[in-house]
Amino acid sequence: MTFLSELSFSTLLFILNFQIIGENSLWFILLCILLASIYSFFFYYKDRQFFETKKWKMYLLSGFRFVIVFIISFLLISPMLKYLTERLEKPILVFAQDNSESIVSGSDSLFLKNEYSKKLDELFFSKLAEKFEIVKYRFGETIQINDTFHFTEKQTNISEVFEQLTTRYENRNLGAIVLASDGIYNKGKNPVYSTSNLNSSIYTIALGDTATQRDLLITEVKTNKIAFVGNSFPIRVEIKADKLKNTESELKIVNNGKVLFSKPIKIDKNEFSQTIDAEIIAEKKGLQQFNITLTKISTEKIQKNNTSIVVVDVLENKQKILILAHSPHPDLGAIRSALESQQNFEVQIEFASTLKSNVKAYDLIIYHQLPSSEFKIPEILNQTKINLRPTLFILGSQTDILAVNNFFSDQNFKIQQSKKVFEESSALVNENFKIFEISKELKRFIENSDPLLVHFADYTLSGESDILLYQKLKNIPTQKPLIMLSKSDATGSKSAFIMGEGLWRWRLNDYMKNDNHLFFNELISKIVQYLSLKVKKERFIVKTERIFTENQHIKFQAQVYNQSYEAVSGANITMQIKDTANKIYQYTFSQPENAQNPVYNLNAGIFPTGEYTFAAKADIEKESFKINDRFLVTPLDLETNQTVANHKILYQLALNNSGKMFSINELNQLADDLTNNNKIAPIYYSSENLLSFINFKWIFFLVLTLLTLEWFLRKYYGSFM
């Protein structure tokens, strides 16, 4: 690195001063001069072959030798150049433009699309270029450096802008941030609370329309992600209307061209909202798309938000369930009635004393008070474990706890009971339970139901278990499970436990309070549906979501297993994705980074809305595996659900951060305010630098040149080496 390149900063003003220092005392320079003088004197003036050489030639050659020896000896004392520099850094002005769809949903959309960028250049950036270093960003869901605005982003995260700028411009001269937005955000936290670590002024340009427009829209749709063929599932639609009093519309839910639900809507006030619940029958298996529409009203300004799409994965899961009991009990009828209310379950009740069925023929085994001291059923339990059948154990007064512990000895699950004593336990819902949804109404029903009869015992839980209900003993909450779901780490098989008997009282209580059994049926069905969902033990597995939104990256994970079902690396995994127009996209999975848990990954990027099929193939050694499936990409319409600009947030951001809010017609005033703000100024940086002489390449070439000249002149003058 040369001295000039070391100082080649665009912001460098000048070198203030410099001096030469060294690791050793600089008095050694005199010794270098003396050494070079003595060496050159004895080399030329004491050598007889140079006695007849003219003096000026002797002076020239000895001078070369002196300089060469001096430089080499000087470098041996490790000299360094110490210099002080000063440079100027302009204040940075960050311009962040909201690039979301809501920006162009108002009355000024044509101006924003066609003339806005030109006006910014003419009235704003041209005035500020001399004082500021201007950096332009656009943002929606994320923020990126770009000065092209197309207003097509599907989500807006304003807080992410400030969080990213805080990190990117730490320890930089960030003079001001200009945020051009309508103040509408639908992702991230409130941006007003995201600027505490940002040490710069924030100015805002208020875009969009704050006037409420005539509009009928679907604000939110809620439904299940999974349903079963023949079962009903809920769709909840929340609608809103502004300034459309005394008009009418109709809500329709359509699947494959068939209207499944319709309801007329009478809008009786200008600020109108309504929640509509629909029960839909899942008629066909697979990914089913349901189009939800509101018929258009001629006077409304925006009609894009009158439609919404939800996708439900409908499974054909007709499950055969065996309830194997110690003896007749009212719980058996209650459980069978709850399961038979769902069309995808076939239920059979048998008793241990007369069992004729083979447990392998069933998809789920419910053991009621089994194993017991009278019926230990070791062969049946062994067949259940060998065939990896999911199980539901309902414990009661006849249950042999020791036999249950033996069955789950490999799962670190144990019930510790000193003597056979029973107590009554009410239920307490675990608020952190995540396996399936527990509504507020269902929670209220469970916690107000009669107590179950449970064993007086302590419990050691497995590593992968989730407690649905805790025991509440004598009105005191405990950490003991009342209903628990579990999954074996080794085999992946699922189990569930109801730690007490008396469920029939819950069903009776449901009918007494609600004149139906819906809550009881829902609870039992949710537990059984979790258990009965099959997990295939395949050699090649590809994991992905079935439903994506149009702004999500389509990601896949894959694993390949050997014959001992151990995950292995070294496979070549490829994938073809095909759209409905038969356009094919080819991909290759990346190789695993972790040899202990080899997982292959693929990020296929963002796809347009529509239905896609994929075919994945894994080749390893002489074996090949294939998987075919499909996924859907659905539209994301968050930006059209709120079209009224929120200038209060923009005003608050500017007020809290020593700035001001300006309208789109006040770009000149904004530029003047920034230019005249004396608090935003350039920063002068002084720095002390050290540079070793050994790094100067020109010194090497100087020594080489002098040696070459000396050798050439000695040859030319007739001497020899």
For the segment 462-474, the average pLDDT, to the nearest whole number, is 82
Domain contains 639: no
Pairing relation of β-strands 247-255 and 271-281?
A: unpaired
**How far from the centroid of its chain's Cα atoms is residue 149's Cα?**
25
> Which tokens go with 193?
């609370």
Q: Find out whether 307 and 292 touch, Cβ atoms under 8 Å.
A: yes
Tell me the average pLDDT across 411-427: 85
Q: If you average pLDDT over residues 650-672, what whole number do you get? A: 93
Question: Is 511 found in the same domain as 392?
Answer: yes
CA dihedral 376, 377, 382, 384 (to 10 degrees): -120
Taking the C-alpha atoms of residue 113 and residue 151, their distance in angstroms, rounded to an integer, is 8
Rounded-to-integer distance, Cα 394 and Cα 502, Å = 10
Residue pair 292/271 in contact by the 8 Å Cβ criterion: no
Give 673-680 contacts, CB < 8 A, sequence gap 24+: 673/203, 674/93, 674/128, 674/131, 674/132, 674/176, 674/178, 674/203, 675/127, 675/128, 675/131, 677/176, 677/201, 679/201, 680/91, 680/131, 680/175, 680/176, 680/201
| Residue among 219, 295, 287, 294 at smallest CA distance from 256 | 287
48 backbone dihedrals φ, ψ, rounded to 5°:
-60, -30
Section 69-85 average pLDDT: 80
Contact criterion met (CB below 8 Å) for 483 and 498: yes
* Residue 206 identity: A
The number of beta carbons lying within 10 Å of the beta carbon of residue 668 is 13
Question: Cβ of 412: how many Cβ atoms within 10 Å?
Answer: 13
Query: Does the residue 151 lie in any domain?
Result: yes
CA atoms in the 13 A half-sphere facing the CB of 15? 13
Residues 6+ apart with CB under 8 A from 620: 560, 568, 570, 571, 572
Give me the mean pLDDT over the 590-598 stretch: 86
Among 212, 233, 203, which residue's Cα sits nearest to residue 666? 203
Q: Which residue has the tokens 């009282």?
A: 505
Same domain, 345 and 483: yes
Let me know: does 617 contact 626? Beta carbons within 8 Å.
Answer: yes
Measured CA distances, 412 to 6, 323, 407, 453, 460 (Å): 66, 25, 11, 24, 7
Same domain, 190 and 227: no
What is residue 552's three-state secondary structure?
coil
> 380 with 502, same domain?
yes
CA distance 242 to 246: 11
144 and 138 in contact (C-beta within 8 Å)? yes
291-348: pLDDT as tens digits: 999 998 888 877 778 888 888 888 776 678 999 999 999 999 999 999 988 767 889 9
Asked which of 565, 600, 634 is the last residue of a domain, the reply is 634
Identify the pLDDT of residue 504. Answer: 94
Average pLDDT over residues 480-484: 92
One domain for residues 447 and 328: yes
Across 659-667, average pLDDT: 92
> How high is the pLDDT of residue 715?
72
The verdict on 62 and 133 lying in the same domain is no
The domain that contains 171 carries what CATH number? 3.40.50.410
Per-residue DSSP letter, 591: P
Q: Is the pLDDT of residue 7 over 50?
A: no
pLDDT score recorded for residue 702: 86
Write down the pLDDT at residue 489: 56
Q: Give tens-digit pLDDT for 552-583.
A: 899 999 999 887 677 889 999 999 999 999 99
| Segment among 44-48, 190-194, 432-436 with least mean pLDDT | 44-48
Domain match, 511 and 606 both: no
Burial 454-493 (b: 16+ CB within 10 A, else e): bbebebebbeebbbbbbbbbeeeeeebbbbbbbbbeeeeb
583 in the same domain as 494? no
Cis peptide before 328 (omega within 30 of 0): no
Q: What is the mean pLDDT of residues 580-589?
A: 94
d(CA 202, CA 158) in angstroms, rounded, equals 13
Instruction: Give residue 11's pLDDT.
Output: 42
- Are both 328 and 307 inside the same structural domain? no
Residue 721 lies in a domain: no
Is 424's pLDDT higher than 50?
yes
- In this prediction, residue 10 carries a pLDDT of 34
Residue with the bigger pLDDT between 10 and 329: it is 329
Do 688 and 236 form a contact (C-beta atoms < 8 A)?
no
Average pLDDT over residues 272-291: 90
Contacts of 409 (CB under 8 A, 6+ apart): none
pLDDT score for 26 = 62
Of 152, 214, 160, 215, give the one whose Cα is nearest residue 185: 160
Range of the domain at 32: 3-87+689-716
Phi, psi of 44 (to 5 degrees): -110, -45
HSE at residue 524, side-chain half, CA atoms within 13 A, is 27
State how far the Cα of 672 lies from the Cα of 669, in Å rounded to an integer: 5
Residues 337 and 254 in one domain: no
Strand order in the sheet with 12-22: 12-22, 79-89, 683-692
Looking at residue 251, what is its pLDDT?
94
Of 85 and 462, the one with more pLDDT: 85
Q: Are residues 501 and 363 in the same domain?
A: yes
Q: What's the one-letter identity of residue 191? A: P
- Report how many domains make up the chain: 5
Of the residues 488, 516, 532, the one at which a domain ends: 532
- Among 136, 134, 120, 125, smallest CA distance to 90 is for 134
Mapped to the 3 state alphabet, what secondary structure does 327-378 carry? Answer: CCCHHHHHHHHHHHCCCCEEEEEEECCCCCCCHHHCCEEEEECCCECCCCCH
Domain containing 414 — which CATH number?
A: 3.40.50.880
**Using CB atoms within 10 A of its CB, is residue 285 exposed (0-12), middle (13-18) or buried (19+)?**
middle
Is the same domain home to 672 and 551? no
**Looking at per-residue confidence, does 715 or 697 come out higher?**
697
Those residues whose C-beta lies under 8 Å from the C-beta of residue 695, and which sit 6 or more positions away, are 1
Q: What's the rounded mean pLDDT across residues 125-150?
A: 90
- 3-state class of 85 per DSSP? strand
Picking from 600, 634, 668, the residue at the C-terminal end of a domain is 634
